[in-house]
Chains A and B, each alone.
Chain A
């Protein structure tokens, strides 16, 4: 179940005007400008014209505490690069990355190692497991590097093994496990150090569709227990819809649109985004609170539904009467009335959603 996002909650990780340019002399394009080019698109074109590759162009977004922030885009759009900039596996060419308000790019190597040891966890597309270590040693690996004593390492490793449901597999080696099981090891390893920020770079893309769905459920279950701040990369729009609190869509290294999945569906910024959202079955995405109709008054004894209810099951009722249904929040307060007119308006693009985060 999704946690309702709270826009006022604290920002955990912030990415400000980040550029990554590959080529002979990438710095030449950023003479102390900190990546704040007046016209990012033109600047990227100029860099491209100078035979450099622009992997990330002027990327900015915030990740809030406890939020699942998904970055979606076609292959080659710069998703892996930006998530590696966030963890400094790749050194950004320009821009700022703030973790808990401190500039990550100014940290020394030793500080960085310390941050990675305690604050960050990362899961990789092809798992990145150590081939020479068995499951429990793989998971205990980050703890052992820190010099935690052996008994404690294994105790903690056993705890995360239980969390990801790999009990009984402790002494197997990666190559003896299926893809899904290997990724469970990857997830367990990244959680072993109890990080605040959790990066996942296309964690389920290498898995079969059925397993993928199962792993997404598993992932949401784990998150509902742990409430990490998450950056989740995927090229699969359906996957993004299932798990995102908010998402960013990237193209050619730049962010095209940021918002809740429903915002993107109802208000696509351009044709590129529309391409993804076009075929989405809106009745399974749209929720009761998204189709509130301010012009319809409350009537006593009307049917009530909880906030977060999908539109699909209430469609028959909307069809039957113009009065609609009352939507109430978890605490019992009334949010408004969802009606057929509200639904049509939402679909027509006149979005009735309370907030449209349009940060681009």
Chain B
């Protein structure tokens, strides 16, 4: 390609120029390096004032709601705790069997027995009772909003951003206002969990109702349906599968939020057990309790997903009453029988203490053995990662390279070599590939040299805003500038950059490693079969639990957080890469084969470019997963916005917590919009339609 500069490229060169000027001047002008203290908008103080005012004048109202909601929770708790374990277990197994079959019933039985043997039965039931109340509420609220959004475009325009915010504001951030309004207690967990879990129901309701084919609607109308009949007998049943998918997602979200909400304490549930054992460094116990959560999540997920999948297959009509309602009859008869039996045989009522067995002690011992004996190796891994990956990204090569870390001093010769090397690389890329890739290399070279946290805020803002403008148009550009502006003027910019740096590294590693695995899995069915259950498990796992194994080995710190984020965020990268490659149009592949492409050419020049939009959607999800995990990783000691949110929660400082929370939501929404816009543009260019 001839070397030709477009106007867009000139814009980017200007951006690089501004960036270099900022870097040069930052020692002269302090405000470039750090946003001055006295320009900061005291937003958190205002928010606190507003909150106090609300609590003072309307507190009674929220406490009233809280009091009302307390009752059903108490009732369900009482019921689940006083029901004989044999009855509860049996009922769950029947539901699992009806939803999916013998395999799931067996797995459910195993999980329930695990809870009993390990001795976490009542904690598990407490968690379940909260989920049992929150899910129906979330489904009701979500369905109502979904229907409203479906019928009214204006309502939809109002609802959608609200959902974005609810799903991207870190969960810790809205625990606090709920706590302040509704008072201490299980109700906080309930409300937080409803708020967090109704959005997926809204989305699925809208998608489901939209997806009903127009001819089905028309045939309903021509059958003479009244508006009510059309809705309940045509639209809703035709979109049942999607609605049940919403139920599945809402349930999973609810469970994860109930667990997170245990952080405020006083709930005596399984989440609290995990947290307090982590805090006491009783890793064996925390792992065992974490397993309970993981099992619970998997069972609930499989059951609700099974119901959704089942909603398509129907049994033949010509069946007797007993055949049609077989599961109900079995459930009722079995439950009554077991209840009666358990009144006679005590062991069926309450699991005997003697049958409990917790391997926590030996687990702790072996962990100690491991950590002591492999201390050197563990330390080396940590050090290598810290010196050669994390530190350069954070404070740049300029700050990271020293005799102590890299073994040599950064001399003028090195600097010149680096600059020349990078310039040459960029020039080569611009010449061989596209000017834009050369510019990207330049920007990254500068960022790596100076470090993300050391680049002056106006330069970072400018880069992001221009990127938003180029990718998604003027609206996205301005939106990006405003969003980042909020972060700057509220004075949380430094922490925001620390979040971006940690999450950024994790996302990059997840994306590249995950994509590589995904490519492998797309070409090899055996690998695919091995990877899939891992992905399923990681994806259903409540985030808390993922922290445990890493904290056990690497203790508290950023490195542990990094690993936990990677473990979670790698899942979508793998999934989307494999899916993108496997769902390529067969005729393109055949055509390329006929032309005589080698395997390598096929991969790099045909498959990957075509699958790139899907992979970009994967990147989008990788980022979202990364941010979600980052929030939780605050527990193991990070320094970014997520930590401020967490501190805000533990100090009871609403304003600080919510400001930082909004900051994180802004970052999440901006990256989401950018990756989506990019993927959509590529799809249009390639004439694909991936939804």
Chain B residues with Cβ below 8 Å from A199 are 222
Cross-chain contact B317 with A171 (CB below 8 angstroms)? yes
Cross-chain contact A122 with B218 (CB below 8 angstroms)? yes
Interface flags for B311-347 (1: CB within 8 Å of A; 0: not) read 1101011100000000000000000000000000000
Interface flags for A171-214 (1: CB within 8 Å of B; 0: not) read 10101000000000010011001000001000000000000000
Cross-chain contact A145 with B229 (CB below 8 angstroms)? yes
Indicate if A348 sits at the interface (CB-CB under 8 A).
Answer: no
B289–chain A nearest beta-carbon distance, Å? 42
Interchain CB contact (< 8 A) of A130 among B218, B226, B234, B311: B234
Cross-chain contact B318 with A124 (CB below 8 angstroms)? no
Cross-chain contact B216 with A130 (CB below 8 angstroms)? yes
In the complex, how many residue pairs between chain A and chain B have their CB atoms under 8 Å apart? 79
A171 to B319, CA, bound (A): 11
Indicate if A23 sits at the interface (CB-CB under 8 A).
Answer: no
A141–chain B nearest beta-carbon distance, Å? 6
Cross-chain contact B218 with A128 (CB below 8 angstroms)? yes
A355–chain B nearest beta-carbon distance, Å? 34
Chain A residues with Cβ below 8 Å from B225 are 113, 145
Cross-chain contact B224 with A117 (CB below 8 angstroms)? yes
Indicate if A309 sits at the interface (CB-CB under 8 A).
Answer: no
Indicate if A89 sits at the interface (CB-CB under 8 A).
Answer: yes
Interface flags for B229-245 (1: CB within 8 Å of A; 0: not) read 10001100110100000
Interface flags for B451-483 (1: CB within 8 Å of A; 0: not) read 000000000000000000000000000000000
- Contacts A126-B213, A130-B238, A145-B229: A89 and B222 contacting too (C-beta < 8 A)? yes
Interface flags for A111-147 (1: CB within 8 Å of B; 0: not) read 0011011101110111111111110110001100110
Chain A residues with Cβ below 8 Å from B314 are 132, 134, 173
CB nearest to B217 among chain A residues = A128
Indicate if B223 sits at the interface (CB-CB under 8 A).
Answer: yes
Cross-chain contact B226 with A89 (CB below 8 angstroms)? no
Chain A residues with Cβ below 8 Å from B317 are 134, 136-137, 170-171
Interchain CB contact (< 8 A) of A128 among B215, B240, B318: B215
Chain B residues with Cβ below 8 Å from A131 are 216, 238, 312
CB nearest to B230 among chain A residues = A145
CB nearest to B219 among chain A residues = A128
A117 to B314, CA, bound (A): 28
Cross-chain contact A116 with B215 (CB below 8 angstroms)? no
Chain A residues with Cβ below 8 Å from B233 are 141, 145
Indicate if A234 sits at the interface (CB-CB under 8 A).
Answer: no
- Contacts A134-B317, A136-B317, A171-B317: A128 and B216 contacting too (C-beta < 8 A)? yes
Indicate if B75 sits at the interface (CB-CB under 8 A).
Answer: no
For chain A, give the interface size range. Answer: 35 or more
Cross-chain contact A146 with B224 (CB below 8 angstroms)? yes
Cross-chain contact B229 with A116 (CB below 8 angstroms)? no
- Contacts A128-B213, A171-B316: A89 and B218 contacting too (C-beta < 8 A)? yes
CB nearest to B314 among chain A residues = A173
Indicate if B221 sits at the interface (CB-CB under 8 A).
Answer: yes
CB nearest to A199 among chain B residues = B222
Chain B residues with Cβ below 8 Å from A132 are 237-238, 240, 311, 314
Indicate if A60 sits at the interface (CB-CB under 8 A).
Answer: no
A87 to B219, CA, bound (A): 11
Chain A residues with Cβ below 8 Å from B224 are 113-114, 116-118, 142, 145-146, 193
Cross-chain contact A87 with B222 (CB below 8 angstroms)? yes
Chain B residues with Cβ below 8 Å from A117 are 223-224
Chain B residues with Cβ below 8 Å from A113 are 224-226
Cross-chain contact A126 with B221 (CB below 8 angstroms)? no
CB nearest to B313 among chain A residues = A173
A43–chain B nearest beta-carbon distance, Å? 29
A237 to B226, CA, bound (A): 37
A324 to B317, CA, bound (A): 63
- Contacts A130-B234, A131-B238, A145-B224: A122 and B213 contacting too (C-beta < 8 A)? no
Chain A residues with Cβ below 8 Å from B240 are 132
A89 to B219, CA, bound (A): 10
Interchain CB contact (< 8 A) of B222 among A122, A125, A134, A136: A122
A260–chain B nearest beta-carbon distance, Å? 29
Chain B residues with Cβ below 8 Å from A87 are 222
- Contacts A171-B316, A173-B314: A190 and B215 contacting too (C-beta < 8 A)? no
A126 to B220, CA, bound (A): 14
Which residues in chain B, 285-332, are within 8 Å of chain A measured between CB atoms?
A: 311-312, 314, 316-318
Chain B residues with Cβ below 8 Å from A124 are 215, 218-219
Chain B residues with Cβ below 8 Å from A126 are 213, 215
Chain A residues with Cβ below 8 Å from B318 are 171
Cross-chain contact B216 with A116 (CB below 8 angstroms)? no
A328 to B442, CA, bound (A): 93
A175 to B224, CA, bound (A): 24
A136 to B8, CA, bound (A): 63
B215–chain A nearest beta-carbon distance, Å? 4
Interface flags for B7-44 (1: CB within 8 Å of A; 0: not) read 00000000000000000000000000000000000000
CB nearest to B319 among chain A residues = A171
Chain B residues with Cβ below 8 Å from A133 are 237
A127 to B215, CA, bound (A): 7
Cross-chain contact A122 with B219 (CB below 8 angstroms)? yes
- Among the interface residues B223, B237, B238, B314, which one has the most CB atoms of the partner chain A within 10 A? B223
Cross-chain contact A189 with B219 (CB below 8 angstroms)? yes
Chain A residues with Cβ below 8 Å from B311 are 132
A87 to B222, CA, bound (A): 8
- Contacts A113-B224, A142-B224, A146-B224: A129 and B316 contacting too (C-beta < 8 A)? no
CB nearest to B225 among chain A residues = A145
- Contacts A124-B215, A130-B216, A171-B317: A89 and B238 contacting too (C-beta < 8 A)? no
B166–chain A nearest beta-carbon distance, Å? 31
Interface flags for A94-123 (1: CB within 8 Å of B; 0: not) read 000000000000000000011011101110
Cross-chain contact A125 with B237 (CB below 8 angstroms)? no
A113 to B221, CA, bound (A): 8
Chain B residues with Cβ below 8 Å from A146 are 224
Chain A residues with Cβ below 8 Å from B218 are 84, 89, 122, 124, 128
Cross-chain contact A125 with B223 (CB below 8 angstroms)? no
A120 to B219, CA, bound (A): 11
Cross-chain contact B223 with A189 (CB below 8 angstroms)? yes
A125 to B221, CA, bound (A): 16
A278–chain B nearest beta-carbon distance, Å? 33
Which residues in chain B, 352-367, are within 8 Å of chain A measured between CB atoms?
A: none
A145 to B314, CA, bound (A): 22
A103–chain B nearest beta-carbon distance, Å? 19
Chain A residues with Cβ below 8 Å from B215 are 124-128
Chain B residues with Cβ below 8 Å from A125 are 215
B312–chain A nearest beta-carbon distance, Å? 8
A126 to B219, CA, bound (A): 11
CB nearest to A123 among chain B residues = B219
Cross-chain contact B222 with A121 (CB below 8 angstroms)? yes
Cross-chain contact B223 with A116 (CB below 8 angstroms)? yes
A278 to B25, CA, bound (A): 81
A189 to B213, CA, bound (A): 18
A109 to B485, CA, bound (A): 53
- Among the interface residues A89, A121, A131, which one has the most CB atoms of the partner chain B within 10 A? A131
Chain B residues with Cβ below 8 Å from A136 are 317
Cross-chain contact A145 with B223 (CB below 8 angstroms)? yes
CB nearest to B216 among chain A residues = A128
Which residues in chain A, 158-179, are within 8 Å of chain B measured between CB atoms?
A: 170-171, 173, 175
CB nearest to A141 among chain B residues = B223
CB nearest to A117 among chain B residues = B224
A116 to B234, CA, bound (A): 16
The 5 listed contacts between A and B (C-beta, < 8 Å) are A117-B223, A122-B222, A130-B238, A146-B224, A193-B223
Known: A125-B215, A137-B317, A141-B223. 20 other contacts (CB 8 A): A87-B222, A89-B221, A89-B222, A116-B221, A121-B222, A126-B215, A127-B215, A128-B215, A129-B219, A130-B219, A131-B238, A132-B237, A134-B314, A142-B222, A142-B223, A145-B225, A145-B226, A145-B233, A186-B219, A190-B222
Give the top 4 A-B pairs by smallest Cβ distance, nearest first. Answer: A117-B224, A128-B215, A128-B219, A142-B223
